[in-house]
Structure 1
Amino acid sequence: MQPIEERLELVRFKVDKRPHIRVHTEACRDCDLTPCVYVCPAGLFEILGGEMHFSYEHCLECGTCYVACERKAIEWDYPRGGWGVSFRAS
């Protein structure tokens, strides 16, 4: 089995200017658990200076952040057709 690092090298992104994920950061301010920071396999969530920051550009589109957020601060839609992540077998 290939190591995860090698498999992630096969991932390609066609980034849309219109984000498919929106984070309502005001709801994150009182969140003590911040599960999105820990569950995102791409590491796209981080807290800087007490504020939640998110970048959608390299999202793997798994929806884990949406499921893990108890505060419903994440709006998640599939990217428009032709945009987003694509996985290659080799």
Structure 2
Amino acid sequence: MSVSVEELLFTIRYRCDTESHLAIRDQTRCSTCNQPCLTFCPAEVYTFRDGAMHVAYENCIECGTCRIACPHQNIEWRYPRGGFGVAYKIG
């Protein structure tokens, strides 16, 4: 039996904090680079619009891909405060 990524993402439960655990260190860097975070984030947390990178931290699945894959090290990533964040139902 094969399970799609979308089906697995649906099983994740998230208790959203009012404080973001993700931040863009330098917005000007995002406006001048090729913005790889728009393609490598499996939860599509990052969007570029109106000349700025926007972070939908509420969608983050805490995989850590962005902190490793950003070639500019322009994403500040930390775990959400205690009691907030992802609760995996499977795996």
TM-score normalized by structure 1?
0.86
1:89: how far off?
Answer: 2.1
CA RMSD in angstroms comes to 1.6
TM-score normalized by structure 2?
0.86
Percent identity, aligned pairs only?
40
Between the aligned partners of 2:70 and 2:4, the Cα distance in structure 1 is: 29
1:50: how far off?
Answer: 3.4
After TM superposition, list the pairs within 5 Å mapping 1:50-89 onto structure 2: 50-89=51-90
Preserved contact between residue 12 and residue 89 of structure 2 (Cα < 8 Å) = yes
Gaps of 5+ in 2: none
Q: Report the count of equivalent residues.
A: 89
1:4: how far off?
Answer: 1.8
Structure 1 residue identity aligned to 2:49: L
1:7: how far off?
Answer: 1.4
